[in-house]
Amino acid sequence: MTALSLKHLDISYGETQITHGISLDIAEGESFALVGESGSGKSTVLKAVAGLAPQWTGSITVFGQPRSHGIDQHFARHCQMVFQDPYGSLHPRKTIDAILSEPLAIHGIGNQNSRVEDMLVAVGLDRKFRFRYPHQLSGGQRQRVAIARALMLEPKLLLLDEPTSALDVSVQAEILNLLKRLRRQQNLTFLMVTHNLPVVSFLCDRLAVMRHGRIVEIADVADLKRGALQEPYSRELMDISVAHAG
């Protein structure tokens, strides 16, 4: 089954058109990466799917259901997003405990206490953080809370916007292992934005490269690993990544 299908998606903010004809299909259980130039519209694509960028034409289909242009409570149960900036997305005056319990309360799910506890363990956060506020955590600790919150409802499709770019490599490794395990156990589907190509190699099956609001190339991760991307811009990104790793 197709988990997410985008067809000729043009997304705008006011007068400015940001994306041009984005089309892609992601199978259920697949892990798909969106990489490319800063400002090219990667977050905007995720926001449109999540209902946060309502001004678009074309089509968005999630598990066979066409998506409406706004927020959709039923949809939220199956599709969750982890935002790029971990400060902005956590309520400053709620404790971590409240932030994680809230989605359960909204959707009438019981057993809140143990679910919150288990999730903190799953994302590698010590229990001492449970009753702290976001500003009392480091950047990486906050990002783990954001990931934990998205996972609370056990969604089937997870939209991840740079989920590990605020994390050090050791926590990144823990989160990547966790995402990989969850995907295997729960047949999760990922659409993940990242600029880190090695992360794509580790976690994803396919990738799309974006520039100036368009997809310039869609490739298998095997091609990335072999250094066989085709488009000049994709090759530029790949070459710098290789040089960088020394």
Ligand X SMILES: Nc1ncnc2c1ncn2[C@@H]1O[C@H](COP(=O)(O)OP(=O)(O)OP(=O)(O)O)[C@@H](O)[C@H]1O
Q: Which residues lie near other proteins (CB under 8 A)?
A: 13, 16, 35-39, 43, 84-88, 128, 135-141, 161-162, 165-174, 176-177, 180, 195-199, 201-202, 224-227, 236-238, 240-242, 244-246
- Using the Cα atoms of residue 238, residue 241, residue 245 and residue 246 in order, give the sign of their dihedral: positive
In the stretch 84-103, what mask flags binding to Mg ion with x, by CB under 5 A?
x-------------------
**What is the C-alpha to C-alpha distance for residues 195 and 197, in angstroms, rounded to an integer?**
6
Q: Which amino acid is at 202?
A: F
Site membership for ligand X, residue 144 (CB under 6 A): no
In the stretch 50-89, what mask flags binding to Mg ion with x, by CB under 5 A?
----------------------------------x-----
Query: At 76, phi and psi to the nearest 5?
Result: -60, -30
Among positions 7, 57, 65, 168, the unique one binding ligand X when judged by CB under 6 A: 168
Site membership for ligand X, residue 13 (CB under 6 A): yes
**What is the C-alpha to C-alpha distance for residues 200 and 39, in angstroms, rounded to an integer?**
19
Please say which residue, 106 or 222, places its beta carbon nearer to other proteins: 222
Helices vs. strands in the chain: H and E counts, helices first: 9, 11
**What is the C-alpha to C-alpha distance for residues 18 and 210, in angstroms, rounded to an integer?**
12
Please say which residue, 85 or 102, places its beta carbon nearer to ligand X: 85
Looking at the DSSP bridge assignments, the partners of residue 4 are 26, 62
The helix (run of H) or strand (run of E) holding residue 192 is: strand 189-193
Site membership for ligand X, residue 86 (CB under 6 A): no
By beta-carbon distance, which residue lies closest to ligand X?
A: 140
* Contact in structure between 49 and 34 (CB atoms under 8 Å): no
Query: At 16, phi and psi to the nearest 5?
Result: -90, 120
Among positions 31, 42, 90, 208, the unique one binding ligand X when judged by CB under 6 A: 42
By beta-carbon distance, which residue lies closest to Mg ion?
A: 43
Sole window of 22-30, 36-44, 212-220, 230-238 interacting with Mg ion (rule: CB under 5 A): 36-44
Count residues binding ligand X (CB under 6 A).
18
Site membership for ligand X, residue 139 (CB under 6 A): yes
Residue 106, CA distances (Å) to 79, 94, 183 in order: 15, 16, 25
In the chain, alpha helices (H):
42-50, 73-78, 96-106, 112-122, 139-151, 169-186, 197-203, 221-225, 232-245
Site membership for ligand X, residue 39 (CB under 6 A): yes
Residues that bind Mg ion (CB under 5 A): 43, 84, 139
Binding site for ligand X (CB under 6 A): 13, 16, 18, 38-44, 84, 136-141, 168
